Chains A and B, each alone.
Chain A
Amino acid sequence: MNSIEVDHLTKKFGDFTAVNEISFQVKEGEIFGFLGANGAGKTTAIKMMSGLLQPTSGTAIVAGYDVVTQPKLIKRNIGYMSQRFSLYNDLTVFENMQLFGTIYKIPRKELKKRIMDSLAALDMTKQANLLVHSIPLGWKQKLAFATAILHKPKIVFLDEPTSGVDPIVRREFWNLIYETASTGVTILVTTHYMDEAEYCHRISIMADGNIRLLGTPEELKQQVGVNTINDVFVEYVKH
């Protein structure tokens, strides 16, 4: 079954076409790498898929809902983590999760249990009452991810979740992504680290508002005749 079905999705800002009739599907439980150059239109496309921005034309069905007519239902059924750290520094670890859980209307008792389970899984139970600004960046990123999936969304959008993070924490983060996907959650992730693109089941590469390439990492490397996704990227996104 498909979690995301994008059909000729387009966004224009005046004369400028940010996203130009892109079409693709993402399967349930799939880790889909959404790659592209800076300014290629990735963020605009993600905003449309998450119900934050209305498309100029085309459609997208996300988690079974239409982005044009049911944006509110989409927001309830997806998780989102942005490249910029998205938690409140002056709240504790627990309070941050409580805040997001409450916004998603998770019943109070259930919420407490979910937070404690989630912190235990991250090995962060002892840090529950620490202010977020005092914990290391790697933990913050993992915490932001756990918070984004607290309401058990069917799909999670991750916008450059590992930007600037050290090589060890990047790998721990990808382990979390794998674990989450293995429970049937669909992951759409953007990254500028091309080694991470290799961890995705399938990837697409955007340039100038268009999807230039789409397939498994192996398929794309064969198609372009190179050995790494970095080379694929450089070949297809020359300026």
Chain B
Amino acid sequence: MNALSVQKVSKVYNKTVQALQDITLEIREGELFGLVGPDGAGKSTLFNILTTLLLPDGGDIQILGMDLIDDYKAVRQVIGYLPGTFSLYPDLSVKENLDFFAVMYKSDIEANMDLIRPIWRQIEPFSKRKAGKLSGGMKQKLALCCALIHRPRILFLDEPTTGVDPVSRKEFWEILQTIRTQGITVLVSTPYMDEATLCDRIALIQNGKILGIDTPDAIMKQFRGSLYTFRSADIFSLLNAMKQCPLRCNYYPYGEHCHIAFYEDMEKAMPQFLQFLEEQHQEHGEIKAIQPSIEDCFIEIVKMNSHE
């Protein structure tokens, strides 16, 4: 059964800004689904619609068999929402915030403690501290407890790791993995492409449109170019030189390496490329064929769309 079915949902702000355009996606029960895209892609607008806070202009949304708009009160009982901005009460203590959310949802903290215990254990030592005085990572953990305390069947997480350091990001994703073992469907958005591989399926979204929906593996298999990586002595000089390259390719820095996706017959193109590098006096390391990452796929899809 689908936990969530979104059909052709659109949203226009102020009659001019098309925030979402014909969004269609289905999320299965128990799935960890990632919405991957940059700021301004429309992720938060979609979250606000799915959590009954904003009306779409058109389209149809079913959540656990209920109509999102007609049954919005019932929908609110079965969803949990962690918004993109810190939305707890900074002047209430950690424990008071949790109590508050439990009371609002008429939920019993003790009865649901098994669900939140792994997370709660980490913030319990600070239970008397005001929520506003917690560090960023701790705030997120408290917000997650508050979003889970009524044992929702679907959890919405809007960019829970934006601006979060790599260690805390890793911890947060470990927590998400434990939540889904409880049978809770999770929809999470992120601008970090590496997090996409931790999801069952992902939707790549940009400018209010979905560019593709599939498992991370399947998306990586759809990569059309032949992808190569190498080191360069001076990557800035290399990127400048590449502007003159006669071959059909996308090139971009990728950490300490340069990635090049060729859209050519490589048997002919590679000798040409090597010759080009030599003519341009570009020193380089070994040029290796590699499998694309989700980030490579996102770049390819966006570049292809902008050329169409």
Contacts and interface: CB of A to CB of B under 8 A. Distances in A.
Interface of A: 36-40, 83, 136-138, 160, 163-169, 171, 174-175, 178-179, 182, 192-195, 198-199, 217-218, 228-230, 233-234, 237-239
B170 interface: yes
Given A136-B40, A228-B255, A160 B167 contact: no
Nearest to A172: B252
A238 B163 contact: no
B38 A217 contact: no
B224 interface: no
B241 interface: no
Interface stretch (B53-61, B260-268, B295-303): B295-303
Contacts of B166: 192, 194, 230, 233-234, 237
B164 interface: yes
A201 to B, nearest CB: 11
A163 B45 CA distance: 19
Contacts of B114: none
Given A164-B191, A166-B37, 20 more contacts: A38-B135, A160-B163, A163-B162, A163-B163, A164-B162, A164-B163, A167-B298, A167-B299, A168-B252, A171-B252, A182-B236, A194-B166, A194-B255, A195-B254, A199-B235, A199-B255, A233-B167, A234-B167, A237-B166, A239-B137
B135 to A, nearest CB: 5
A138 B41 CA distance: 11
A174 B245 CA distance: 21
A239 B256 contact: no
B118 interface: no
A166 B255 contact: no
A39 B37 contact: no
Nearest to A170: B38
B239 A137 contact: no
Contacts of A179: 236
Given A230-B166, A233-B167, A239-B168, A167 B256 contact: no
Nearest to B140: A38
Interface of B: 37-41, 135-137, 159, 162-171, 191-193, 206, 235-236, 239, 252-256, 295, 298-299, 302-303
B179 to A, nearest CB: 20
A39 B191 contact: no
Contact of B165 (A38, A174, A199, A228): A38
Q: Which of A38, A163, A179, A198 has the most CB of B within 10 A?
A: A38
A168 B299 contact: yes
Nearest to B207: A136
A145 to B, nearest CB: 16
Contacts of A168: 252, 299, 302-303
B39 A167 contact: no
Contacts of A237: 165-167
14 contacts: A36-B165, A37-B168, A137-B38, A163-B162, A166-B38, A167-B302, A168-B302, A169-B38, A175-B236, A182-B236, A192-B166, A218-B256, A237-B167, A239-B171
A38 B298 contact: no
Contacts of B170: 234
A217 B37 CA distance: 28
A175 B28 CA distance: 41
A18 B135 CA distance: 13
B242 to A, nearest CB: 12
A228 to B, nearest CB: 7
Given A164-B38, A164-B39, A167-B193, A192 B302 contact: no
